[in-house]
């Protein structure tokens, strides 16, 4: 698939997360580096960059909060911006129409949170007929505690997401692999 048929989707990379009690800066340096490299590489390769913001009526994810903006230090001007109220970036946001109008058939999925909105978007996109490259190193998540009390690290959650997506809903790739597409 050519770059002209590909779009980079940057999901929920927004300041709202800094205002959640689970926010941790543990993996942010690596995430910011890989996410920015992916954005910059997509730009250089002629791949459109789409920014998705999660919005809620109240709290840190509300438009009124002022936190629904690009998470610093990421810096880019997207080709399109969509707001979503569900986990999948394709659910009710208008993104699917935008992609169809441009002949996009492959999605590079990145952003926050690995196992939630990024994974859900990857599954939805695959089920909708898109080829999906899940750029795991350009996703960020946070440790979670299961019902049984077990603490899952961000690395374990990322590994679990890669396991369940790979070869079923997506191809798991790093930034270099995601950007190594034939040019039209």
CB atoms within 10 A of CB 102: 14
Q: Under a CB-based contact definition with an 8 Å cutoff, are residues 143 and 152 in contact?
A: yes
The pLDDT score that the predictor gives to residue 128 is 97
The pLDDT tens digits for 56-101 are: 999 999 999 999 999 999 999 999 999 999 999 999 999 999 999 9
Residue 157 lies in a domain: no
As a residue count, the chain comes to 184
Q: What CATH number should be reported for the domain holding residue 106?
A: 3.40.50.850
In a domain, 66, yes or no: yes
In a domain, 184, yes or no: no
Q: What is the value of pTM for the model shown?
A: 0.95
* Domain count across the chain: 1
**What is the extent of the structural domain holding 122?**
3-152+162-179
């Amino acid at each position: 698939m050519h770059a002209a048929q590909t779009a980079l989707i940057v999901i929920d990379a927004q300041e709202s997360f800094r205002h959640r009690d689970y926010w941790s800066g543990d993996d942010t340096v690596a995430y910011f580096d890989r996410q920015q490299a992916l954005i910059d590489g997509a730009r250089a390769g002629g791949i459109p960059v789409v920014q998705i913001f999660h919005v809620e009526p109240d709290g840190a994810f509300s438009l009124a909060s002022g936190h629904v903006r690009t998470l610093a230090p990421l810096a880019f001007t997207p080709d399109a911006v969509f707001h979503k109220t569900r986990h999948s970036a394709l659910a009710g946001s208008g993104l699917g129409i935008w992609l169809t109008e441009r002949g996009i058939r492959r999605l590079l999925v990145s952003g926050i949170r690995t196992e939630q909105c990024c994974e859900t978007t990857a599954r939805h996109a695959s089920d909708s007929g898109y080829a999906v490259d899940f750029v795991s190193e350009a996703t960020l998540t946070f440790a979670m505690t299961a019902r049984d009390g077990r603490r899952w690290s961000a690395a374990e959650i990322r590994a679990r997401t890669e396991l369940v997506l790979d070869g079923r809903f997506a191809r798991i790739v790093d930034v270099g692999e995601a950007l190594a597409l034939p040019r039209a």
